[in-house]
Structure formats: structure tokens, C-alpha cells
């Protein structure tokens, strides 16, 4: 598409601009503005005859300018022809019909653009939603890590290298199972010298619960999940388990930091498939019946696991 875009605003003495037979499709906006200003002071003749002017949506403002310009005198304007995309021509002598046809094409074109844009937006939104959903735990984990660093907190790697963790394990459990969790923690701390993190005792008051969870997982050597049907139904338990998984992958080089204590054997059948790989790696222990002789053995093995330096 050939466009006349030569600067002419300084040509104060311009009286005639002959652009006939130059294969021009339009004049650019600056040229039209310059001609309008010059014609407001004196007569300006403009000859565009013999140019393949384009009848298109993008050219509509130029075509309207030709017809509606009051001070510019166009040479044989009624004989100008306009070329549509389908190769048909329309003379300016019947400009109303020309514009009617062009507006009809442009409305269809606008509708196509609108529909296409809407579909593209919907598709992009769906794709982004799927990506965000798939990586939601990674995104949340990274957000809290960056947030912690922005507050001048030490990163998990700094804490690992300097203090070998604050706690031997963070205990993740549902509120309905708090009696068991507290009893287990009390026994482990009193009889095996372990230091365990309980949210109701060790979380920092006034800090957002999500920040507390992420920080507790950062500074604990392991995360112990007390697995019951209540645990599976708890949003925050699910959050803690997934944050521990992210910690293992992105801060501990895929170390085995997650450990399950299965309090109800029947709950294994209810586990989401993505949790099964943890059980397949034997990162769990069944808790025996309370009145059984195996309870001390269970506690001893769990304590030995938590006291292991390498994992």
C-alpha cells in the first residue's frame, strides 16, 4: 500500500498539489492536517485522479476526508474510483452507496475481530488457569520464600548450613487429632530429647498462618504428617503437606523430608494418587493399637528416624 507522507506544512504558498496517477492508496493523517490548515487560509487544489484508492476499513477515515473536506478543491472528485478487496470498483459519484458497502464489510470485519479476540482471551485464560492450577503449590512456595527474603529473613539454605534446623520435625495434624499429636510430641521431647514444632505452641503470634507454616517447614529437619480421615479433609493440612513437598524439591534437593504416621489404616484407600509415591518410598509408619505392646517400639523407631542426620 503506497501512502503519500511527505511533509508539506511549511509550503505556505502551496496552491496546487497534483498527485494524479501515482499509485497512491491514501494520504497520511499529517498530510491531510497540513492541507486542511493551508486551505483554511486560501484555495488549495488537489488532484488524486488515477490513483488506486483503497476501499478498506483502515482507509475509511481518508475516504470520508475526501468527501467532507470543505475548503480543498478536488479535481474531478466524482470520477475517483475506490478499489475493494474483492477487486470491484466504486466511483465517488455515488459515495453514499460506497460508504454503505464499506460499513457493511467493516462491521463484519469488526465482528470477526471481536469474536476472535474473545476466543483468544478465553483460550489464553484457560491455558493460564491450567498452568497456575498445575503449579499452584510451587508458585505459593516461591511467593513465601521471596516474601521471607524481602523481610531480611534468612533463607532455608542459610538456616540449614548454620544451625542444622531449629526443630527436628514440624508436626502436621488435623485439629481433631490434636490430643494424639500433643501426646506424641510430649513423649518424644521428654524421652528422646527431640525438639518438635507444634503450631499451637510454636507459631509466632500475629504472623499470618501461611507464613508461619512455610517458616516452620523451612526450619524443621522433617515434616511429620499425622494421617487420618480428618487430615485429608483439612485445607491447612493439605497446605502443609504440599509446602513440605515443595521444600523438599526446591530447597533440599529432593531430599526425603516428608514422613507419614498413619493413625487410621483405612485412610490409605482414600489417599490422592499423587501422595502414593511417598508411601511407595516407605516414608511412613503405621501406629499400632493404643493397648498393644508395639506402641513403645513405634515410638522408638520414630525417634530413631527423626534423629538420623542424613535423609
pLDDT in tens, 23-51: 888 898 999 999 999 998 888 999 999 88
249-288: burial string, b at 16+ Cβ within 10 Å, e else: eebbeeeebbbbbbbbeebeeeeeeebeebeeeebbeebe
Note the pLDDT of residue 154: 47
Note the pLDDT of residue 160: 42
Mean pLDDT of 59-69: 85
Read off the pTM: 0.56
pLDDT, averaged across the chain? 83
CATH of domain 3-102: 3.80.10.10
Q: Which of 37, 35, 42, 41 is nearest to 19 (CA)?
A: 35
Among the listed ranges 184-188, 192-196, 208-212, 248-252, which one has the minimum average pLDDT value? 248-252
Which is more confidently placed, 258 or 280?
258
Instruction: Output the DSSP codes for 105-124.
Output: HHHHHHHHHHHHHHHHHHHH
**Res. 64: pLDDT tops 70:** yes
Which is more confidently placed, 64 or 161?
64
Mean pLDDT of 185-208: 91
Mean pLDDT of 251-263: 83
**Res. 307: pLDDT tops 50:** yes
Top CATH class of 165-307 equals alpha beta
Domain spans of the chain, in order of start: 3-102, 165-307
Amino acid at each position: 500500500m503506497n501512502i503519500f507522507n511527505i511533509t508539506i506544512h511549511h509550503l505556505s504558498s502551496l496552491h496546487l498539489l497534483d498527485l494524479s496517477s501515482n499509485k497512491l492508496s491514501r494520504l497520511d493523517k499529517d498530510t491531510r492536517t497540513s492541507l486542511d490548515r493551508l486551505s483554511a487560509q486560501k484555495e488549495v487544489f488537489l488532484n488524486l485522479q488515477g490513483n488506486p484508492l483503497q476501499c478498506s476499513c483502515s482507509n475509511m477515515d481518508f475516504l470520508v476526508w475526501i468527501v467532507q473536506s470543505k475548503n480543498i478543491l478536488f479535481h474531478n472528485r466524482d470520477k475517483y474510483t475506490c478499489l475493494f478487496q474483492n477487486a470491484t470498483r466504486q466511483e465517488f459519484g455515488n459515495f453514499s452507496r460506497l460508504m454503505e458497502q464499506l460499513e457493511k464489510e467493516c462491521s463484519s470485519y469488526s465482528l470477526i475481530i471481536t469474536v476472535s479476540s474473545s476466543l483468544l482471551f478465553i483460550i489464553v485464560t484457560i491455558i493460564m488457569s491450567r498452568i497456575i492450577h498445575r503449579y499452584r503449590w510451587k508458585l505459593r512456595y516461591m511467593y513465601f520464600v521471596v516474601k521471607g527474603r524481602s523481610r531480611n529473613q534468612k533463607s532455608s539454605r542459610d538456616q540449614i548450613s548454620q544451625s542444622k534446623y531449629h526443630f527436628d520435625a514440624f508436626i502436621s495434624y488435623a485439629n481433631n487429632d490434636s490430643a494424639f499429636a500433643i501426646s506424641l510430641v510430649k513423649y518424644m521431647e521428654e524421652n528422646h530429647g527431640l525438639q518438635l514444632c507444634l503450631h499451637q505452641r510454636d507459631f509466632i503470634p500475629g504472623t499470618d498462618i501461611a507464613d508461619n507454616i512455610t517458616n516452620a517447614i523451612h526450619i524443621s529437619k522433617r515434616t511429620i504428617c499425622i494421617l487420618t480421615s480428618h487430615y485429608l479433609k483439612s485445607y491447612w493440612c493439605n497446605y502443609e503437606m504440599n509446602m513440605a513437598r515443595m521444600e523438599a524439591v526446591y530447597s533440599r534437593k529432593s531430599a526425603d523430608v516428608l514422613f507419614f504416621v498413619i493413625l487410621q489404616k483405612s485412610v490409605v484407600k482414600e489417599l490422592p494418587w499423587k501422595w502414593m509415591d511417598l508411601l511407595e518410598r516407605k516414608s511412613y509408619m503405621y501406629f499400632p493399637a493404643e493397648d498393644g505392646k508395639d506402641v513403645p517400639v513405634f515410638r522408638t523407631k520414630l525417634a530413631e528416624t527423626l534423629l538420623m542426620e542424613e535423609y
